[in-house]
Amino acid sequence: MEIIQGSLEYFKEYKLNNPFLMNGMKDAIFKIINAVNNREKIVVYGCGDVDSICGISILLLLLKYLNADVEYFIPDDNDNEIGISKMALNNYIKYLGADLLITVGCGGNSKEEIILAKQMGISVIVTDNHEEVNSEIDAIVINSKNKACNYPFKHLSSAGTVFKLCEAISMYYKMKRVYKYIDLVMIGTIASKEPIKNENKALIDIGIEDIMNTNNYGINALLKINKISIMDMETAISLVNLIIPLKDSPRNKDNARIAVELFTTRDSYRAIQIAKYLKKECLK
């Protein structure tokens, strides 16, 4: 299978790096394309923070566009915020019939859990943006912070890392659709608290420029319900804080799942209802 890298004009214009500079990217693309073509069950596994929510949403939107058999999962176990939960593997993901598990912003240290997944017949792709402690995990790892990774920018968010994966997928399929998700990348990158410089700054600048013309029903609903008519960095930060109201709220994981629905729904009425709910949660 040949990877077609296409034109690099977009990268040059917006100061974005070629996703194929990321270690593990080609292997990940082969694995995902094979899963899509063979109708294998793909499960996207993430955390309950805004950065991961945006990354999960981007990957879901693109894979659904490719007609993949895909679902997502956010665990309730707070102790596994940046790892894969054995409980989730045993009690949920196994029963989904997962063939491929793709993590978003977690899993870089989950050696034992990945061994368990393999024993269940589940292949694993880890996309993470945390410093990886265990370099011996039996998975394809995409993480710019890995010392062995040659990617020139080391501070991508979870959403940014997933976006690079989606860029590579779109290059294989020769489509430009992935760039419509820049608004979600912008939100995730701001939420991540990663340094706003170099590629992160480019992603945020493009997102701020494009977001008022978004065709994402969820983002449009947030803008409408909160009466946002112009976008700048200050407003973008406020938008981030409208998604998951309280970090220590017992409803945090429920709100995270609702936010994923917000960003992936194709129903404008449903998006408005979710945006109203999240605004009410913010006022509590």
Instruction: Please write the tens of the pLDDT for every residue from 131-157.
Output: 865 667 889 999 999 888 889 999 999
In the predicted structure, residue 205 carries a pLDDT above the cut 50: yes
The mean predicted confidence, pLDDT, of the chain is 89
The closest of 57, 97, 65, 104 to 83, measured between CA atoms, is 104
Report the pLDDT value the prediction gives residue 250, as an integer from 0 to 100.
55
Dihedral-angle region of residue 228 (phi above 0 means left; psi in -120 to 50 means alpha; beta otherwise): beta
Question: What sign has the CA pseudo-torsion 123, 200, 55, 168?
Answer: negative
Q: pLDDT band for 9, please (50, 70, 90 cuts).
A: low
Residue 12 has pLDDT above 70, yes or no: no
Q: Which residue has the tokens 């799942």?
A: 257
- Per-residue pLDDT tens digits for 56-74: 999 999 999 999 999 999 9
Where do we find the tokens 């490719």?
66
Number of CB atoms found within 10 A of residue 8's CB: 12
CA distance 237 to 70: 30
| Class of domain 17-282 as given by CATH | alpha beta
Q: Is 70 exceeded by the pLDDT of residue 172?
A: yes
Which ranges constitute the DSSP H helices of 97-157? 111-119
Sign of CA dihedral 256, 259, 264, 265: positive
